[in-house]
């Protein structure tokens, strides 16, 4: 999974070389960015499990946990969209 996320966050730039040939340059993401994405995905998994346990044990929906899950998903989506441009 780690290489899949790293590959998704890698930028690819095409430019002309010194003799007019097309060059493709790949810029890998920083380690800090990768760790932030891994942490966010882990927290989404943990909070989803917490919400499921809350539903099973108490039988009610907790909107605060759902709001945090939605915010983290928005954060992850924003990282993927802005990193590729």
Over residues 64-82, the pLDDT tens digits come to 999 999 999 999 999 988 8
- Domain definitions of the chain by residue range: 2-83
Phi, psi of 46 (to 5 degrees): -65, -45
Please report the pLDDT score of residue 66 as a whole number: 94
Question: In this predicted model, what pLDDT tens digit does every residue of 46-57 receive, in sequence order?
Answer: 999 999 999 999
- The pTM score is 0.79
């Amino acid at each position: 999974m780690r290489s899949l996320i790293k590959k998704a966050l890698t930028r690819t730039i095409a430019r002309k070389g010194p003799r007019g040939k097309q060059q493709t340059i790949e810029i890998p993401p920083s380690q800090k960015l990768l760790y932030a994405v891994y942490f966010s995905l882990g927290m989404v998994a943990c909070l989803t499990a917490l919400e499921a346990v809350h539903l099973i044990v108490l039988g009610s929906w907790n909107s605060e946990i759902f709001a945090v899950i939605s915010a983290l998903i928005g954060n992850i989506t924003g990282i993927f969209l802005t990193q590729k441009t």
